[in-house]
Copies of this chain bind each other. A is one copy, B any other.
């Protein structure tokens, strides 16, 4: 091993230092990290003051975290890293529905509800019916598939962000698809909302002229026996910020029309006022790889 540190040999020297790592995957990850991190430093040639700023930013990001706040996930989100990891881990196959980020608000177990129930316990927003079927890649319905659903209110807040301001479990429901794999539930059309901006990530967005908003969406985790679990959203077509999601989670296939339905018969059938909005979303799950 050389004792002489030079810009050209530095990355190799650091990678060499990890040569005895017992876990080969850890060694692979660290070697690649060092290679890319050193390439970044050599390319940008940060001043010592810039290096100190970076150290300060990372330190503040760690110190902002607590039981209810994960600022490093937020940083990963606004740099597109969370979506990249999610996408790599869920490469679509056989036409399955695309995944997107889990997000930080799946904090509590959703309450079990019957098909057709509403997850809207407040009744202030535009009423809406969400319906669809859960299918396997070959089109076979998946009866008994489970759908965990959560969303922000029409004011842009999740229940957990407004303790006292919203009933607990508002905007959440756990549904079981029927014998045809069909599901339907009532809710309000969700609103766009900002990610938390009172930490270092907010400072970063502000310094770079980026807005903190996410377009309106509804979260889903869908599971069925013999199939890969799917974490995804549907996005409200035409929502503000649909072109510039602060966390880069929009995929075109996940954008859905929330269509006005002005039909008193339909409204009565679903116990909704007329007119209401309707979104249709068929969910295709990928079978588990067989051994």
- Bound Cα distance A250, B100 (Å): 46
Q: Is the CB of A18 within 8 A of B210?
A: yes
- Bound Cα distance A43, B79 (Å): 17
Contact status of A14 and B248, CB under 8 A, knowing A37-B81, A46-B29, A85-B51: yes
Which residue of B33, B51, B252 is within 8 Å of A4 (Cβ)?
B252
Known A22-B207, A38-B80; further 11 A-B contacts with Cβ < 8 A: A3-B250, A10-B84, A14-B248, A21-B209, A45-B88, A47-B89, A48-B89, A55-B73, A55-B76, A58-B72, A60-B62
Q: In this complex, what residue of B is CB-closest to A231?
A: B48
Task: List B contacts of A14 (CB < 8 A).
Answer: 79-80, 248
- Nearest-CB distance from A135 to chain B (Å)? 23
Quick check: is A39 within 8 A (CB to CB) of the other chain?
yes
- Nearest-CB distance from A91 to chain B (Å)? 8
- Bound Cα distance A87, B22 (Å): 31
Q: Is the CB of A32 within 8 A of B37?
A: no
Q: List 4 A-B pairs, minimum CB-CB distance, nearest first.
A: A62-B62, A20-B209, A14-B80, A36-B40
Q: Is the CB of A55 within 8 A of B72?
A: yes
Quick check: is A268 within 8 A (CB to CB) of the other chain?
no
Quick check: is A177 within 8 A (CB to CB) of the other chain?
no
- Nearest-CB distance from A124 to chain B (Å)? 29
